[in-house]
Each structure stands twice: as C-alpha cells, then as structure tokens.
Amino acid sequence: MSVDSPPYCRVTNNIKPLLAKVYSSETAERLTTEIFALIKDTLCPSGREDLKKWNHNNVLLITYGDTIVDGDRPPLSVLAEFLETHLYDTITGVHILPFFPYSSDDGFAIIDYLKVNPELGSWADIKRIATNFNLMADLVINHISSQHEWFEQFKQNELPGCNYFITADPSEDLSQVVRPRSSPLLTPVETAEGEKHVWTTFSADQVDVNFENPDVLIEYVKIILAYVEAGARYIRLDAVGFLWKKHGTNCMHLPETHAVVRLFREILQLVDPGISLITETNVPNRENLSYFGNRNEAHMIYNFSLPPLLLNALMQGRADHLKTWMMSMPPAPIGCAYFNFTASHDGIGMRPAEGLLTGDEYEQLILAMRNFGGKISMRSRPDGTESPYEINISLFDALKGTVKGEDQWQVERFLCSQTIMMALEGIPAFYIHSLLATHNYTEGVEETGHNRTINRYKWDLKTLETALADPTTAHAKVLAELKRLIKIRRQQTSFHPNATQYTLHPMNPALFAFWRQSLTRDQSIFSVHNLSDQPQDLQLSDLNLVSTDDWYDLISGHRFTDDRTIYELAPYQSVWITNKPNSAHDDTMPTLL
C-alpha cells in the first residue's frame, strides 16, 4: 500500500504528531511506517469514535484465572464453566488478571506476554471466555520479569534486549522518585560487561523497560494487537503512571507517559473503535483524573478514591467525606467513563484518600482494619519515612463491623457498599471474592509472606458449590442478592455510565443520597443509602419527588404514594426510588460535534 494512500495518510495524521511529542522527527517518521505495517490489514473503515461502547447494561467481573480450581482440570476451563453456570445472565465482561507465564507478584512479573501460563490453560480457554463475555486483558507495561528473554539478552549484551532497560549510577540522587514499595529502586545485576544497576520500581524481579528506546514502544504495540486478535475488548494499562523515567523528576505522570497513552488510544481507534483503553493509576484523585486527558487518553480510569472513602463512611456511619468527594468529581468527558470498584486483587489503596480524611479518622480506619484481621502495607516517602500505602483485607471481612467493633450487620453493610457502587456514575466492576463473600485468607499470608495474598484465596470448586447450595451461608446470601441487584441495575437507563448525577443533601448525616437521570431524561432514580447501624428516617420531601409521577423502590418494590411521608430505612438499607421502573431501552449518547 502506497504512503500516499488514504489509509496511510489517516494513520500518519493520527499517529505521527503523537510520536513526535516523544521522539525525534526522523524516529517519528520511521515509527509511523512501522505501525502502519502492523495495522494496515486490520484498519477500521471509518475510524470514527464509538460513543456507544457502553451503556447501563455493562457490569464487569475481576478475577484471577485460578481463583476456582478443580483437581487437575485447567483452571481457566473451570473458570469458564463457573461463569457460564452462575454468572452468564449477570455480568457482561471479565477482567482476567495476568494469565501469562510469570515469576512473581501473582502474575505481574511476566516472562512471556504472548503465551498463556500452561498451569492455567490455553488460548482456547481465553477465547472461550471472550466468546461469552467482553474480555479485559492486562498490559503490564512498566516492567517485565527478570526471567524474560529480553532481560537475558540484556545480561549477555545481545540485541534487542541489551537496549531495553534503564540503568543508573547508585550514587545518583534519586530521592524524588515516587515509590510504591519499600524495596530498593535500583538492583545490581551481573552482565557480560560487568555489574550494572537496573531500575526496578516494584521489586528486584520486576525490571522496568525503557520506552525512551522506540523499539520498546513497537514491542508493546505488537502485544496490544495480539490481545485484540485474541478477543480483548478492554486493554488495561497496569501501573502506567510510572512508565517514563527522567532524571531530576519524580518519574510519575510525565508528559511522555501521557503521550504514549494517547498514542495507544489512537492505534486502537484505527483498528477497532469499540475497544476501550483503561489506565490503572493508584494515586491521589487529581493525578488519576489527568489520564482522561482532553478526552483523548484513557477511555476509562479506575475510581481509586471510592474504596477507601466508602469503607470509611461505613466505618463511621456518616456520609460527609463521601459527599464532599462526590461533589468534587467532574462528570467523565464524552467518550470516557469511570471504572467503579470497591475491591480488587490488590489492597484498598490509601493514597487516593490523602487529604480527604481527618487524621483521627485515618487512624481509626487503620485500627479497625487491623482488628478485623487486615494487614497494612507501607511505602517509602522521599524523606526516608514510611506511610500506609494500602489496606490488605477481604472487603467482606473489612465490613464485619464499624469503628465500634464487630456486630451483626456484616452482610447488610457489605451489600450496602455494593449497592452504592452499582448506582454511581461509571461502569461497576466486582472482584470475584466480593461476589462470593470470601473471608480473609490469613493462612495464605503466612505461607507466602505477602500481605496481598489475604484477598487472593483459591476456592475448590466442589467446596464452593456446596457453600452456594446452602442458602444459610453468607456466600449464598451475598451472591444471590448481588445477582438480583445487578439484574435490576442492568435494566435502568438512569444507570448509564454517563447519565447525569447530582449529590443530594438530606438533613440526616447518616444518609448518602444522589440522583441519576437517564440521558434521554425520561427516567430518574434517587439512590439513598443508610450508612449506619441504626434505623434512619428518610424525609421524602428532601428528594423533591415530582408529585405527578408514581415512585417505586426498585429494590424492595415499595410504592411511594405521598411525597410528604417519612420512610424508615433499616440499618444499611438502600433504596433506588424511580418514576419509571425496569426501563430497558438503550440511551443514545449526545452527538459529538
């Protein structure tokens, strides 16, 4: 295909200016040609942005490939069977955490990006899941395993890997560099040329790659395209904020990092506008929001402030900090969305809560989590001190009580947390252990020595099926109720990820309330939640319900006939009060001019 052809010109116009922000003009020219060669056979005819990538129907699951095991059967095959049996009509997408050969960090030290870990299964298993659910695949972009072929080449001074990594003099002042862990930033390595110190942001086994080398960029473009070919509809950029390194800076969120994210979005746009790019940046809220760019970077960003703030609200029984945060959150730009979650394979990150909780509340939260069996992971500050980085705990056990101690409301409190998450602006995602009400895996922490293992339990399939078959277990109760709520949620157009959201201000501080309205303005939902362990009065007049409409609670089925009524909410009860129940038609995104 000629360089004067319309497809090449389209790629040039979209890609080359972004490459020129990072590399020299000559390098940008070369990379444009190389990228065109990689995507020319799969170019989308129109290349127009798809503003209907998601709607109110989207709900995702987050899971490891081996969260459920059954003897010698490939865990990915077991997972596929479990999803098809229990969640086929509940969730629409599945984020399978790194399913590649790895050496540490439960998958995030990848040895080979293009193979499926044989202990998990095969590409056939991945494609089976991708056939029934929208697949999210991890691009662990900041680092590779020290056992990766590239790093072996680096140690032997062989191409291409010999130029793929970052070395530094340990005598240099690197104190400004933001650290997520307390391990050394530089790791000494014996090479054919003697000892070198390589950059290792996360651990000695996770070696940072050097995107300043344009060949590294091309390697990752190839990996992204391979994931798309395998059926991925979401590409998750893991720890992308650390991507670019520049001496004399904190090496976080640098302009070059944002340019690379934007470049990946443009490439995906050219190949398949229906694919979404999501950034994982566990940082304070303002920094996290920057990855929307000018609606030209990530399609979705993780709503990292939600888990610690929601947890604290339920610990304290008050909505004040949650309301303050919600009022400060801008609507996601057109073509973008928040990725809402309350638990994940990692802990509950505390950096996003910095400056949002009082000192006393912060300490009370940490103490309560320790009392409920949780662990606290620390990070190093530039001044050499340490501070809490994340709380490691099963979310179900994190909600077994409040700052006052354990009580009888664990299931109700937990369901309240999930109901709030489902109703917020954005796309909801459930960690599989939340759906299954899994307890702390303290034995696993003792075995591995890693705090995060506490929330990475592996269920035996037969044990799990037995627990789910007994309606008296918390596992069965939680899964059944969450499935019911998710199915209700998926029918409401007011829960479109980009539907209008306003924070409400009931007089009662124990109530957290907000209003959602569908994009077509024909459905409203008042989402109200009792955050306390005591019954609370909801003054319906606080909601300003339109008196000419009939109002229903989607969750309980209760009908409201008088907007002057005082409605009593039980401890941790949630209501979704709507004027148009079970609406199932599709919203249309606003026309983009």
191 bridge partner residues: 194
**Angle CA 25–26–29, to nearest 5:** 85
Q: What is the rounded distance in angstroms from the CA atom of residue 299 to the CA atom of residue 134?
A: 15
The residues, ordered by sequence, that sit 6+ positions from 325 with a Cβ below 8 Å of its Cβ are: 285, 305, 309, 356
Q: What is the rounded distance in angstroms from the CA atom of residue 383 to the CA atom of residue 248?
A: 16
505 labeled binding residue: no
Peptide bond into 160 cis (omega under 30): yes
The residues, ordered by sequence, that sit 6+ positions from 118 with a Cβ below 8 Å of its Cβ are: 101
Q: What is the rounded distance in angstroms from the CA atom of residue 167 to the CA atom of residue 189?
A: 10
Backbone torsions φ then ψ of 354, nearest 5 degrees: -60, 130
In the numeric block, the tokens 């029918």 are attached to 491
Nearest residue to 332 (alpha-carbon basis) of 372, 280, 294, 373: 294
Q: How far is CA 399 from CA 321, 396, 437, 478, in A?
A: 18, 5, 11, 13
338 bridge partner residues: 301
542 labeled binding residue: no
* 480: enclosing H helix or E strand: helix 474-489
SS3 for 334-382, per residue? CCCEEEECCCCCCCEECHHHCCCCCHHHHHHHHHHHHHCCCEEEEEECC
Instruction: State yes or no: is 238 an active-site residue.
Output: yes
Q: What is the rounded distance in angstroms from the CA atom of residue 144 to the CA atom of residue 184?
A: 17
In the chain, % helix, strand, coil (3-state, to 5) comes to: 35, 20, 45
345 labeled binding residue: yes
CA 304 to mean position of chain CA atoms: 8
Q: How far is CA 185 from CA 141, 204, 519, in A?
A: 17, 8, 48
Pick the catalytic residue from 66, 125, 205, 238: 238
Q: What is the rounded distance in angstroms from the CA atom of residue 188 to the CA atom of residue 200?
A: 10
CB 254 within 8 A of CB 155: no
236 labeled binding residue: yes
Backbone torsion region of residue 310, taken as left when φ is above 0, otherwise alpha when ψ lies between -120 and 50, otherwise beta: alpha
Q: What is the rounded distance in angstroms from the CA atom of residue 46 to the CA atom of residue 28?
A: 24
Q: Which residues are annotated as a binding site?
A: 105, 143, 236-238, 345-346, 452
Report the binding-site residues for substrate: 105, 143, 236-238, 345-346, 452
- Please identify every residue annotated as catalytic: 238
